[in-house]
Homo-oligomer: A and B are copies of this chain.
């Protein structure tokens, strides 16, 4: 009875068109803001070039990976080409490539608009919080609208053209695999530059954060763009696609009956995008307003609008179930709650950050120990939130019929990600105003302007913690539904092979248990590899900075006309990141394949579970501990616990340096690692059914 589907395809494309048009309007609005400062324009240009060079080289590496993966997919998926339907394999390959290309475009456009907005926001900061905020926010919103638009467009197009939701897994895998490497590569780049700039500048020489004498300062600003804008865009593109894809795979496998499940998924995605558009359009800040409040209140407005619109749609359209609405609402609300608890642990007006700042008075070991401890504790409420929302969504939807319980969980993930357009806008705002702060300093815009930029920047940091909570939570729920998708794919293969289908993954089975233990170790090893990548790379860059200060006469003293070789630092960050980004991702994929070939589908079920559980734990720990340390340092710098230059400050800087790769390299890459592993498992399920040692 899902005969409304053509309507929703139409509405999807219409909404995407509206979103793109609105993004274009915002882009032009940002573009027409005045720029006059030559120095800022020049540095801005350097940042843009650096970012574009990195992206070009990174995409060149990733294109090779994508082509190899595409060939493998063409030959093997959904079933080996020599005994299957050739057209299906071609469709899957094209969907995969479309996923990679759309992901790359989202990242590319994000960089374009971010490097356009940063200088303009810096100059606007001369006039106060309000105009600078609006430029930063609207720049971010262009990215948010495009990412969500691309994902809705891609999913709707693939499903409309193929009619086969399984093909969506290929599209989703394209998005994820690119996101995995983009996030890892960007994350390594940005933290290499950030840590090296801080250590040599702030700690050794005692010069300010964005002092133009520091050879790593441009690389640091480039890093904000390639790591936080492009990487984060790819990440949320991927999460959003994965959530929709898994919901649609499950929806298609349901008997349907009286329910219009597929239409409902699209309807909710459309309304989420509409709610985000309204939220973005109405975002406001007073002349002396608080930017954190402004960002958060637009999130709450969007949440409210989404809930009202979806309730109306559920009442209006035949075959839309209130139970499913409940599941989506629970997902969204739990996302908000996770955000609030994350905020509690990482906001410097709350007690935890103050405690860590206070512990810094006893030395850096205490900064690290207390940050690690609170980071671990902060994982509990978020994990409990995910657990409870899965439980409620399941219980709500189970009475609708067989398979609906797991569909409910997938709709909770869709609900949690429904306002992702808003989330990305807030998130991309962060690096833009971070850059603006740097440009204000390098352009010599004066103390007052830098202070304004600082305030905008600090809001970006706080809000980032909240949005990370959202994306980790959504990854958790999505992967549960991907586990369901994996089971249904594996069962198709098992039934084809004339074997008994799997009814579940019992933890008492040693094969499942084997998978669980290995799966749980993978996120730990994955994040360790990324952190070691940053570690190695930063050591190289620190050596280069030392060399420049030693050999370039007059650089340290700031003699007029003497400039560091910014390009060399960008180059080190780039080549290091490109070298280190592949192994960790490949290790995760290889481990999945190895476990599948040893233990078969049962082991893979356990593997995915272990991976989710420890992935969530480590991601939450790392993201929150990192945010905590960053803000504890800012809190000390605001004059507390001895203020700048005190021993507590030195200890807090060390904490922040430890936290940098935690929160911006490893932590946020884990989501993507979890998703990629789940998709690989689903895609290769028939392989694991056919060949496995103990399966």
Residue positions of A touching B, CB distance < 8 A:
195, 199, 203, 359, 362-366, 368-370, 372-377, 379-380, 383-384, 386-388, 390-391, 393-395, 405-406, 409, 480, 483-484, 487, 503-514, 516-518, 520-522, 524-525, 527-529, 531-532, 534-535, 538-539, 542, 599, 605-606, 609-610, 613-614, 616-617, 621, 654, 657-658, 661, 694
In the complex the two chains form, what is the Cα distance from A606 to B384 in whole Å? 13
Query: Per a CB cutoff under 8 Å, which of B365, B518, B524, B538 touches A387?
Result: B518
CB distance from A378 to the nearest CB of B (A): 9
CB distance from A614 to the nearest CB of B (A): 6
Given that A370-B535, A508-B406, A531-B373 are known contacts, is A379 also in contact with B521, CB under 8 Å in the complex? Answer: yes
CB distance from A346 to the nearest CB of B (A): 16
A370 cross-chain contacts in B, Cβ below 8 A: 531-532, 535
| Other contacts beyond A362-B539, A391-B694: 12, CB < 8 A | A199-B365, A359-B535, A362-B542, A364-B364, A369-B535, A372-B531, A383-B518, A384-B518, A409-B510, A516-B613, A521-B617, A610-B613
A520 cross-chain contacts in B, Cβ below 8 A: 383, 613-614, 616-617
A368 cross-chain contacts in B, Cβ below 8 A: 368, 654, 658
In the complex the two chains form, what is the Cα distance from A524 to B605 in whole Å? 24
Q: Is B507's CB under 8 angstroms from A483's CB?
A: yes
Query: Per a CB cutoff under 8 Å, which of B199, B374, B380, B609 touches A516?
Result: B609
Q: Can you offer 22 A-B residue contacts whose CB atoms are under 8 A?
A: A362-B539, A363-B657, A365-B654, A365-B657, A366-B538, A369-B658, A372-B531, A372-B658, A373-B528, A376-B527, A377-B528, A387-B516, A387-B518, A388-B514, A391-B513, A391-B599, A503-B506, A504-B507, A506-B506, A517-B613, A520-B613, A613-B613
In the complex the two chains form, what is the Cα distance from A377 to B363 in whole Å? 27
CB distance from A565 to the nearest CB of B (A): 21
A539 cross-chain contacts in B, Cβ below 8 A: 359, 362, 366
Given that A507-B609, A614-B614, A658-B368 are known contacts, is A513 also in contact with B376, CB under 8 Å in the complex? Answer: no
In the complex the two chains form, what is the Cα distance from A517 to B383 in whole Å? 6
In the complex the two chains form, what is the Cα distance from A615 to B391 in whole Å? 23
In the complex the two chains form, what is the Cα distance from A388 to B539 in whole Å? 38
A380 cross-chain contacts in B, Cβ below 8 A: 518, 521-522, 524-525
In the complex the two chains form, what is the Cα distance from A511 to B409 in whole Å? 13
CB distance from A541 to the nearest CB of B (A): 10
* Among all A-B residue pairs, the 8 with the closest Cβ atoms: A504-B506, A365-B657, A373-B528, A394-B510, A376-B524, A387-B517, A376-B528, A380-B521
A195 cross-chain contacts in B, Cβ below 8 A: 365
Q: Is B621's CB under 8 angstroms from A524's CB?
A: yes
Q: In the complex, what residue of chain B is closest to A359 when comparing beta carbons?
A: B535
Q: Is B390's CB under 8 angstroms from A514's CB?
A: yes
Q: Is B535's CB under 8 angstroms from A366's CB?
A: yes
- Most B CB within 10 A of own CB, among A388, A508, A527, A694: A508
Q: Is B377's CB under 8 angstroms from A517's CB?
A: no
In the complex the two chains form, what is the Cα distance from A393 to B514 in whole Å? 12
CB distance from A119 to the nearest CB of B (A): 31
In the complex the two chains form, what is the Cα distance from A366 to B537 in whole Å? 12
- Most B CB within 10 A of own CB, among A503, A538, A658: A658
- Most B CB within 10 A of own CB, among A195, A373, A384, A610: A373
A383 cross-chain contacts in B, Cβ below 8 A: 517-518, 520-521
Q: In the complex, what residue of chain B is closest to A195 when comparing beta carbons?
A: B365
A512 cross-chain contacts in B, Cβ below 8 A: 507
A658 cross-chain contacts in B, Cβ below 8 A: 365, 368-369, 372
Q: In the complex, what residue of chain B is closest to A480 when comparing beta carbons?
A: B513
Q: In the complex, what residue of chain B is closest to A660 when comparing beta carbons?
A: B365
A384 cross-chain contacts in B, Cβ below 8 A: 517-518, 521
In the complex the two chains form, what is the Cα distance from A522 to B379 in whole Å? 10
A654 cross-chain contacts in B, Cβ below 8 A: 363-365, 368, 654
A503 cross-chain contacts in B, Cβ below 8 A: 506
Query: Per a CB cutoff under 8 Å, which of B372, B480, B509, B605 touches A504?
Result: B509
Q: Is A508's CB under 8 angstroms from B487's CB?
A: yes
Q: Is A511's CB under 8 angstroms from B362's CB?
A: no
Given that A362-B538, A605-B507, A694-B391 are known contacts, is A376 also in contact with B525, CB under 8 Å in the complex? Answer: yes
In the complex the two chains form, what is the Cα distance from A425 to B472 in whole Å? 46
In the complex the two chains form, what is the Cα distance from A531 to B506 in whole Å? 34
Q: In the complex, what residue of chain B is closest to A506 when comparing beta carbons?
A: B504
A525 cross-chain contacts in B, Cβ below 8 A: 376-377, 379-380
CB distance from A258 to the nearest CB of B (A): 24
CB distance from A331 to the nearest CB of B (A): 13
Q: In the complex, what residue of chain B is closest to A610 when comparing beta carbons?
A: B613
In the complex the two chains form, what is the Cα distance from A503 to B506 in whole Å? 9
Q: In the complex, what residue of chain B is closest to A483 when comparing beta carbons?
A: B508
CB distance from A320 to the nearest CB of B (A): 23
Query: Per a CB cutoff under 8 Å, which of B366, B514, B535 touches A391?
Result: B514
Q: In the complex, what residue of chain B is closest to A370 when comparing beta carbons?
A: B535
